[in-house]
């Protein structure tokens, strides 16, 4: 992978975290809608839900929720993969910089303060960390 591809790969962590939050909110809203409509399709078998339209809507909501949960699971797996890629960096200083930058979304200035280095030096160490290490992504690159 090129330098830019590595950075893009590592930046996926924060982007995925944001998407996970959004998906979790959407799942909660679907749960709320299902509750207002009487629960779930399974309840229809016990005779609690008799309206076919209501049953159809519940089925649609449950399918949507299942799709969101699958996507959520995929994103969680991607987070784990990126975390493991950073954990495999042998140099502890480089590993710390990568964690602060990509897992915690710190700026170079915040990292410099945290690690007691100059911001310029953090920038140099970060570049070296990206260049010297390989990161495994879903495509196997």
**Residue 93 pLDDT:** 97
Q: What is the 3-state secondary structure (H, E, C) of 94-141?
A: HHHHHHHHHHCCCCHHHHHHHHCCCHHHHHHHHHHHHHHCCCCCCCCC
70-92 confidence digits (pLDDT tens): 999 999 999 999 999 999 999 99
DSSP state of 91: -
- Using only C-alpha atoms, what is the Rg of the chain? 22
32-77 confidence digits (pLDDT tens): 888 777 765 555 555 555 577 777 787 888 889 899 999 999 999 9
Orientation angle between helical segments 3-36 and 119-132, nearest 10 degrees: 90
pLDDT average, residue stretch 92-99: 98
**Residue 117 pLDDT:** 97
pTM here is 0.79
Question: Quick check: 122 and 97 in contact, CB under 8 A?
Answer: yes
**Residue 52 pLDDT:** 73
Give, in order, the Cα–Cα distances in Å from 44 to each of 35, 49, 63: 13, 5, 16
**Residue 35 pLDDT:** 78
């Amino acid at each position: 992978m090129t330098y830019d591809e590595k950075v893009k790969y590592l930046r996926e962590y924060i982007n995925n975290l944001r998407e996970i939050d959004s998906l979790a909110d959407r799942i909660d809203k679907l749960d709320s809608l299902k509750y207002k409509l009487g629960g779930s399709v399974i309840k229809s078998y016990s005779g609690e839900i008799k309206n076919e339209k209501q049953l159809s809507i519940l089925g649609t909501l449950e399918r949507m929720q299942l799709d969101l949960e699958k996507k959520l699971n995929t994103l969680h797996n991607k987070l784990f993969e990126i975390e493991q890629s950073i954990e495999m960096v042998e140099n502890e200083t480089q590993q710390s910089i990568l964690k602060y930058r990509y897992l915690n979304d710190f700026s170079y200035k915040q990292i410099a303060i945290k690690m007691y280095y100059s911001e310029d030096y953090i920038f140099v160490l970060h570049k070296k960390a990206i260049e010297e290490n390989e990161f495994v992504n879903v495509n196997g690159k």
